[in-house]
Structure 1
């Protein structure tokens, strides 16, 4: 396999990738390829050099959001119709994964997909529109704060309170597992008002990180426990009490699609490195690639990666053509790709033997650690399966025609 200069997809596979995603653009493959090259060059030159220090310091780099936003990439992603440009979203997410950016990539995705989609979809006040502009320009980092100590998937049970105090609103409570919480200039906080869950836009002055979680993987994501205590005006109430859960669901849909695309990119990186290692590494006088058990193991994984990518692209193409993605479809993509990503990372690290378990030899060990977060972030496997099951529709006529009573 002939590798590109950055050790990612071989050229033939990359051409097939761009031909697939051009359906989402509704145009020729040339703009797709050009956009991918722009993103890749920017990540290599500006973002990847940040990773080693951010992993050591467990810090999310605000400068990554600033660098990407300054080039107009965020504006391009959210140009167009109600979903913005999902094709560009997938390409950007894939390249963040292929660059092996781990927590940095996920943090960028949470800013761009989860937080910005809510600002764009529900921000009708001048204040919210101003914050949206800052987020798209990369001048401010935004995050979404939903989970709490006793609240994980059941977001209807949030206890962070939204109460009226004179002509202002008071938002007060503690949020757990907020990413990238310590770096955020604004948090979109899910809280409970008198009419039910709401979403309030809280500036940094009302946010206090009280604990930095020492996560096993995604160390550059900077996940924190966040104390929220702020007085805000009416124009900071992004989603009124009672409509907060439905709005969060929309943000989660974009987050899940972007997360799945990042995992696809990371799987490409891991599999290409593993294949190349099999062809270079010799044991018992011949390359490891000559050992059938190893090459067929990777063939099986790559076949599943191919099918997962086709599923992602078909979904994006359908939505871009005017269709819609149900919560169950987005959940199905996310859980399937996340579970495959964990397996691919583990098997590819295994191919490297002892060196796949050592931190400073190659990225496989980190990709393996990071892969677990894909099965938790944006909703656990079990929550995703519940959403998939909620979309089941029986066919009683068909049943009666085949099954004897």
Structure 2
């Protein structure tokens, strides 16, 4: 009974944080979280085992959540949609241990759909957006190339004019979930600079499926792009592509942070419960101070990171500046925390924590390594944070002898 009561109190505190951040009343927040949790448990969680084994991203996950109206609800409202619902949806997918499936849903909903919603003005783009929000179409964003990682300004995929059509040709690396996508938003280079073009499945060919260490159900591929499209498929004109991608990446990074934090709740609660149930030398592991304080440290870091996420999205939702620097800071900090927490929690389970199928921790540990690369490497995130630095010369001269 005590454990159940503690779990309820933990969720009440989490929902209170959402309420304070987004100005929502407790009932709608709690109801939405409960609804999301039920939908994920009923329709998505049962897919994880098979999709991890087969290295397949399940379109049915997008279909189930979209058909339930969650995607429309996330993007209701102003320019940023409802960031509160984005956080809850992402947290619950993380807490359910969805791994690559959850990240793939997030890439569809946050990265691709935000670009369609923000820049899609043609009837064609609006139709694709509607199908994406309904869960009838899976979308992805294709940016990286063999020799292009973080420096997206160097993309070599070409956009050229051919009569009354455009031709898009090139190879994109590390596209997730590339093989399952009905449409890809392709970053390419036109005569005036980087552009974004909406390419249908007929112009996309998976040529290599990457055998990734983690996120196996994300279905990351090398994608060959060769398509002829009309003017209404050019989502962002040449020269403005990088700025547009940056906007999509901001939403992706915030959602990634929320999903990792949800998964860290799962990992740390499992570790804490194991300490109280497992006995060594006739006493529960929790009675050993070194282990007890280790978990206390992890839970403290998770709490502080979550409050930072809530404060950031609350400021954005209230009309504050949507800062790429803030989103990058959250993403890199939480990604590194995810790698540390899952490693420590797996360690607490001893040998069982290192064996596949005994706990979810070894998979979470493998999965979260990519969090420090996907959506931008640690170094790129720190560069974005550094770009936001502003010196205070008056303060310097007050305290430092010159």
TM-score category (smaller protein): over 0.9
Is this contact kept in 1: 2:43–2:61, CA < 8 A? Answer: yes
Which residue number in structure 1 is paired with residue 169 of structure 2? 172
Name whichever of 393-402 and 184-193 sits farther off.
393-402
Which residue number in structure 1 is paired with residue 247 of structure 2? 250
Which residue number in structure 2 is paired with residue 376 of structure 1? 373
Which residue number in structure 1 is paired with residue 108 of structure 2? 111
Is this contact kept in 2: 1:181–1:209, CA < 8 A? Answer: yes
Is this contact kept in 2: 1:24–1:321, CA < 8 A? Answer: no
Deviation readout 1:41-63 (Å, 9 max, x if unpaired)? 00111100000000000000000
Name whichever of 223-232 and 25-34 sits farther off.
25-34
Deviation readout 1:51-105 (Å, 9 max, x if unpaired)? 0000000000000000000000000000000000000000000000000000000
Deviation at 1:2, TM superposition (A): 4.8
Deviation at 1:321, TM superposition (A): 1.0
Count matched residues.
402
**TM alignment of 1:214-363, pairs within 5 A:** 214-363=211-360
- Unaligned 5+ segments in structure 1 are none
Q: Does 1:122 align with 2:119?
A: yes
SS class of match (1:383): helix
Which residue number in structure 2 is paired with residue 401 of structure 1? 398
Query: 1: distance between equivalents of 2:99 and 2:206?
Result: 22
Query: 1: distance between equivalents of 2:26 and 2:313?
Result: 15
Is this contact kept in 2: 1:76–1:88, CA < 8 A? Answer: yes
Deviation at 1:324, TM superposition (A): 2.0
Deviation at 1:29, TM superposition (A): 1.4
Query: 2: distance between equivalents of 1:96 and 1:363?
Result: 14
SS class of match (1:10): helix
Deviation at 1:325, TM superposition (A): 2.3
Query: 2: distance between equivalents of 1:355 and 1:374?
Result: 24
Q: Does 1:48 align with 2:36?
A: no
User: Residues 135 and 2 from structure 1, CA distance in 2 versus in 1: closer, same or farther, beyond 3 angstroms?
Assistant: farther
Deviation at 1:27, TM superposition (A): 2.2
Question: What is the aligned counterpart of 1:207 among 189, 204, 208?
Answer: 204
User: Residues 164 and 279 from structure 1, CA distance in 2 versus in 1: closer, same or farther, beyond 3 angstroms?
Assistant: same
CA RMSD of aligned residues (A): 1.1
Deviation readout 1:320-349 (Å, 9 max, x if unpaired)? 111122111000000001100110000000
Query: 1: distance between equivalents of 2:335 and 2:26?
Result: 28
Deviation at 1:360, TM superposition (A): 1.4
Query: 2: distance between equivalents of 1:70 and 1:242?
Result: 36
Deviation at 1:176, TM superposition (A): 0.1
Query: 2: distance between equivalents of 1:4 and 1:164?
Result: 63
Query: 1: distance between equivalents of 2:160 and 2:245?
Result: 20
Is this contact kept in 2: 1:119–1:128, CA < 8 A? Answer: yes
Query: 2: distance between equivalents of 1:218 and 1:196?
Result: 33
Return structure 1 stretches of 4+ with deviation > 4 angstroms. Answer: 1-5
Query: 2: distance between equivalents of 1:264 and 1:78?
Result: 22
Name whichever of 310-319 and 223-232 sits farther off.
310-319
User: Residues 3 and 180 from structure 1, CA distance in 2 versus in 1: closer, same or farther, beyond 3 angstroms?
Assistant: farther
Which residue number in structure 1 is paired with residue 81 of structure 2? 84
Query: 2: distance between equivalents of 1:156 and 1:2?
Result: 55
SS class of match (1:101): coil
Which residue number in structure 2 is paired with residue 63 of structure 1? 60
TM-score by length of 2: 0.99
Deviation at 1:4, TM superposition (A): 5.7
- Unaligned 5+ segments in structure 2 are none
Is this contact kept in 1: 2:18–2:24, CA < 8 A? Answer: no
Q: Does 1:158 align with 2:155?
A: yes
Is this contact kept in 2: 1:208–1:227, CA < 8 A? Answer: yes
SS class of match (2:42): helix
Which residue number in structure 2 is paired with residue 19 of structure 1? 16
TM-score by length of 1: 0.98
Is this contact kept in 2: 1:24–1:86, CA < 8 A? Answer: no
Question: What is the aligned counterpart of 1:31 among 22, 25, 28?
Answer: 28
Name whichever of 360-369 and 80-89 sits farther off.
360-369
Which residue number in structure 2 is paired with residue 95 of structure 1? 92
